[in-house]
């Protein structure tokens, strides 16, 4: 970028309608030297770059994995309708991790209405005590997951879903998730060690559900989508 002012002007117009995702390397002095030797151009001051991206509404990807996570989510799923998320997981520790990242990124756990809590309790095993995150502890099957999502869809306080699926049985969830009607609320999934079951990951993503390697990434991407939606809505007013 030879003109920061022009970039901000163009990017500001683009982000009124579409997300602009930027991967900008050369953050350290060593990185700047590598940029210079690779492109024969200057990397620029990273603080200034960060400010330019923020001012224009561009979403800065932290690394390549973050960039691809953002690209998949924005291209396959709608924007969250609120900052409350419903986390549905097959293991409790990842539900806790999603909770931490949600609150660190300006999101929160949504609170189901009383009648929806009652319906959810009827689905849960006796040992499950929390309603968000919903922790099925490796007993989760596709029917439970779909019914839990359908309950969340009816809640005014749920803007999107983070779903943690056991990779060894991922193929069983592809068609049920393809068929679920989330009423315009995004669903992002996490499959730990997904590189070992890439055939099923590809099937899931062809079904329209982005798959992240970590629940932290899925939750962070959901927050990025929410912030973009807020900015877009404010500009339209």
In this structure, whether the domain defined by 75-236 belongs to CATH 3.40.50.720 is answered with: no
Would you state the pLDDT for residue 121? 94
Would you state the pLDDT for residue 94? 96
Give Cβ neighbours of residue 69 (< 8 Å, ≥ 6 apart): 210, 212, 217, 218, 220, 221
Would you state the pLDDT for residue 26? 66
**Model pTM greater than 0.75?**
yes
The tokens of 168 are what?
A: 């060894």
Give Cβ neighbours of residue 3 (< 8 Å, ≥ 6 apart): none
Place of tokens 């924007």: 79
Question: What does the angle CA 12 – CA 14 – CA 15 come to, to the nearest 5 degrees?
Answer: 70
Could you give the count of Cα atoms lying within 13 Å of 100 in the half-sphere of its Cβ?
9
Cβ(48)–Cβ(4) under 8 Å?
A: yes
Which of the residues in the chain have pLDDT under 70?
Answer: 1, 26-44
Would you state the pLDDT for residue 30? 64
Residue ranges of domains in the chain? 4-60, 75-236
């Amino acid at each position: 970028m030879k003109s920061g002012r022009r970039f901000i002007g163009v990017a500001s117009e683009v982000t009124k309608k579409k997300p602009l995702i930027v991967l900008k390397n050369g953050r350290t002095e060593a990185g700047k030297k590598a940029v210079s030797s690779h492109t024969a151009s200057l990397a620029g001051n990273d603080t200034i770059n960060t400010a330019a991206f923020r001012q224009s509404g561009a979403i800065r990807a932290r690394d390549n994995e973050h960039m691809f996570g953002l690209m998949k989510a924005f291209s396959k799923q709608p924007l969250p309708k609120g900052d409350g998320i419903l986390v549905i997981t097959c293991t409790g520790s990842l539900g806790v991790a999603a909770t931490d990242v949600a609150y660190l990124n300006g999101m929160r756990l949504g609170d189901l209405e009383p009648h929806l809590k009652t319906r959810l309790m009827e689905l849960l095993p006796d040992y499950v005590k929390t309603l968000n995150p919903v922790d099925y502890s490796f007993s989760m099957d596709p029917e439970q997951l779909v019914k839990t999502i359908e309950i969340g869809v009816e809640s005014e306080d749920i803007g999107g879903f983070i779903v943690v699926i056991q990779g060894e049985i991922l193929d069983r969830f592809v068609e049920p998730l393809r068929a679920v009607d989330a009423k315009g609320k995004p669903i992002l999934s996490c499959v730990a060690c997904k590189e070992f079951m890439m055939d099923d990951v590809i099937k899931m993503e062809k079904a329209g559900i982005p798959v992240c390697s970590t629940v932290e990434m899925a939750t962070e991407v959901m927050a990025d989508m929410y912030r973009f939606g807020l900015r877009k809505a404010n500009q339209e007013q």
